[in-house]
Structure 1
Amino acid sequence: MFDKLKAIYQKLSPGFRQVLSNTAWLFGEKILQMALGLLVGVWVARYLSPQNFGLLNYATALVGLLSPVATLGLSSIVVRDLARDSSHREEILGTAFVLKLLGGLATFAATFALVMVLNPQDKLTHWLVAIAATGTIFTSFDVIDFWFQSQVQSKFTVWSTNTAYILINVVKITLIQMRASLVAFSWALTAEKAVAAVALLITYNLKGYKSRAWRFSWVRAKELLSQSWPLIISGFVIMIYMRIDLVMLGQMRNSAEVGVYSAAVKVAELWYFIPGSVVQSVFPKVVKAKDNDEKIYYERLQQLFNFMAWISYAVAIPMTFFSNQIVWLLYGPKYADAAPSLAVLVWAGLFVSLGLARGPWLITEGLMKYSAGTAAVGAVINMIFNFLLIPKYGGLGAAIATVIAQMFASYGANLFYPKTRPIFIQQTRALLGLGLIDFIQRKLKKD
């Protein structure tokens, strides 16, 4: 069997083998993180109880709302530029690093100011938010990951992030055994980002690259920001409809309900690494296909949408039927109310996946402004439905609002703009299984 698989692998084109290998590394990383996260994360949730678990997740959600200031929407732009021309590596990485560092500092200040307005008397929440916001400063070192992505060499990033993840999970287990405070667990989450940043820096230099050679360019900075500002806005609104539910639950209900709902969110999003890893791996190839052959370009996009739809169905259907058993098995009776929210939230993943698959097309076609616009409308839809449904239905209402918002922003909105209607058709074919049928028919004809 191994020899047959090896023979099939050798018949693949070098480019496809590189993508497959890169995706395998990303899958390996996320599977390890998923296993550890599930084991240790559930242990932490049980230890903290819904109220403290809710406070921790409320703080991270609040920081998440402003995190686009730290990322500056640079990820895809920098990866694209490096994939097209790596001769300016030092200038691109150096400029992106400085921009992201300034963004991280701005995020810290803005988040702390926000929590002082929303929770003026809650000192514990102030501390939790400040600690979580500190972690955004270390995301400036993610530019190293951008370089390895552009070269389809994510295995080096995997080594770094897994080292940090394993170490911090050991720390979390130790904190549980020590009966540590909630603040200590918040520091552990921030420490993970710091350790990952150091590990990335070491890996980059060990591979023969020199971080000291990075240089900042005002011209490059203006160029990057002029292209990324729609993605910054898009990032804001995406975080709003991804995390505003937790914040609004905390403001309109209580921290215990946030904790229960957070348990559902973590299980529902547990598998998101799959579409994210696939898109991350194929993105450079999609960019190059656009330059070489328009037909192949759209064929690859259809294949990507097909995969996203079917992997989503494979996860969502069984999780919907067994949500009660899953919640009881993982979190125990204290979190039993998370089951209905989980059964609904898991369907958001279908549209998240289609939206991720649409991303390379939007960037390649220069339609980042459209992405920001649809995400903004999705965010508004989410907030409206949260406002209407949370008072009566709590976490379940927040889950329904999230699915509706994701469905519109990632899929439905494509129908209303002429330039995106071809993508709406491709997504619809994937949802109905027609794209997969076409693919099988083409293969049968070739055979």
Structure 2
Amino acid sequence: MARYLGAQDFGLINYSLAYIIIFTTISNLGIDSIIVNEIIKKREETGKVIGTTICLRLISSALSIFLIFLIVKYVIQDSFVIQMITLIQSISLLLVVFDTIDYWFQSNLQSKYIVIAKSVAFSIVSLWRLALIFFEKSVYYFAFATVLESIVISAFILWFYFKYKGPKLRFSFLQAKELLSHGFYFFIAGLLIVVYTQIDKIMLGQMMGGTTVGIYAAAMTISNLWVFIPNALIESARPVIMSSKSENEASYLKKYKQLYCSIIWIGIGASICITLLSKPIILLIYGEQFIESISVLIILIWSRIFSLIGTTRAIWLSIEHLGKHQVTFVSIGAVTNITLNLLLIPHYGAIGAAIATLLAEVISTFIALLIFKQTRPLFKLILEAFLFKGVKV
């Protein structure tokens, strides 16, 4: 797809997608970070928790689409193409709300059904894109791929949920108030996270143009190819770790340390391999027109390790009721990233944005833990996990 569209149009797709990703986080309302814990604690009210979450997210998604319309109409007035592909992709916000059901499968250790749904969706969307290339369609059709993927995933998730007799979905105002209250800090933190992870593309687009965004997006795509493995591990371990907290503190900490050890060393192994093979990977997949992506990839791949450390940290903060600190950590990352982008992008383009991302991840997900007394034990735990201390079964 990148070869067919070229760096310019491929960059425009990713530039507009950055807005969609930001508003996807807004529509999630921070509830995703706490819903597994809510289901585990209130098994008999699972249907109410999930149903209420879906209703809240549907409302916020509709409002998000309206806000996106205002942004593309008044902020990006000089590009009809960006306006259209952004609006097309925004439709997916109404469909991704059904990802909420994923957390019911997670809480029952049945994530395989979600994997099946997403694998089928990926296959269908890949065939769609190949067909578009074969018939030489415009960039607008490629933008619709985001919507198509959401349709397929939602359809399969709902089918599996009802097939395996998931609890009856219902709405509760009291539950809505509780979810919004508990998820507030995670909402702010999640919004800040996605802003500083997507702001690179937006700032590159504004300061350097669509081609530079395409170069950066190509490298970012490769750097994210392998993270489904540690992410699957994190999602599978989440309910186990949360359950063990109430049973045995020592077992809880050991399991959490084992999870950190796994993702850190999987990340190091993947980063070394991709760093060594960055040139043949970029040339094989994207071709000569994306050769500038090689240097960007070598930098970005190492930032993924710290991103995963941050994802895993959210479990601990949720269990220990320290979600308010997440806002501080992510704020530090956002300010660091935006500041470094302003300083580095004008001089180094996509490479500058990659350096900004790496430094922001290191500071916000790891070093920032030293700021608060309550989070310093987690800094120590991560170091011990890296050194294989106390992780043996």
Residue 118 (structure 1) aligns with = 75
TM-score when scaled to structure 2?
Answer: 0.97
Matched, 1:405 2:360: yes
Residue 181 (structure 1) aligns with = 138
Matched, 1:415 2:370: yes
Residue 61 (structure 1) aligns with = 18
Residue 366 (structure 1) aligns with = 321
In 2, Cα distance between equivalents of 1:159 and 1:343: 31
Equivalent residues in 2 for 1:295-334 (5 A)?
295-334=250-289
Which letter does structure 2 place at the counterpart of 1:302?
K
Matched, 1:191 2:148: yes
Structure 1 residue ranges without an equivalent (≥5): 1-43
CA contact (8 A) 1:152 1:281 kept: yes
TM-score when scaled to structure 1?
Answer: 0.85
CA contact (8 A) 1:362 1:368 kept: yes
Deviation at 1:437, TM superposition (A): 4.9
Greater alpha carbon shift after TM alignment, 117-126 vs 231-240: 117-126
In 1, Cα distance between equivalents of 2:133 and 2:370: 50
CA contact (8 A) 1:70 1:139 kept: no
Which among 136, 139, 144 is matched to residue 101 of structure 2?
144
In 1, Cα distance between equivalents of 2:381 and 2:390: 12
Matched, 1:134 2:101: no
CA contact (8 A) 1:48 1:182 kept: yes
- How many residues in Structure 1 have an aligned counterpart in Structure 2? 393
Residue 93 (structure 1) aligns with = 50
Q: Could you give the per-residue CA deviations for residues 380-425 of structure 1, whole angstroms, max 9, x where no partner exists?
A: 1100000100001000000000011111111110011100001001
Residue 203 (structure 1) aligns with = 160
CA contact (8 A) 1:104 1:139 kept: no
* Distance 1:438-1:77 versus aligned 2 partners, 3 A rule: closer
In 2, Cα distance between equivalents of 1:65 and 1:356: 17
In 2, Cα distance between equivalents of 1:264 and 1:200: 30
Deviation at 1:178, TM superposition (A): 0.6
In 2, Cα distance between equivalents of 1:118 and 1:390: 21
Q: Secondary structure at the match of 1:251?
A: helix
Residue 193 (structure 2) aligns with = 238
Greater alpha carbon shift after TM alignment, 391-400 vs 289-298: 289-298
Deviation at 1:438, TM superposition (A): 4.4
Which among 223, 231, 236 is matched to residue 281 of structure 1?
236
In 2, Cα distance between equivalents of 1:148 and 1:287: 15
Deviation at 1:221, TM superposition (A): 0.2
In 2, Cα distance between equivalents of 1:327 and 1:375: 31
Q: Which entry has the higher C-alpha Rg, 1 or 2?
A: 1
Which among 294, 299, 304 is matched to residue 249 of structure 2?
294
Greater alpha carbon shift after TM alignment, 262-271 vs 319-328: 319-328
Deviation at 1:314, TM superposition (A): 0.3
In 2, Cα distance between equivalents of 1:272 and 1:158: 14
Structure 2 residue ranges without an equivalent (≥5): none
In 2, Cα distance between equivalents of 1:418 and 1:390: 35
Q: Could you give the per-residue CA deviations for residues 202-228 of structure 1, whole angstroms, max 9, x where no partner exists?
A: 111111236xx3211110000000000
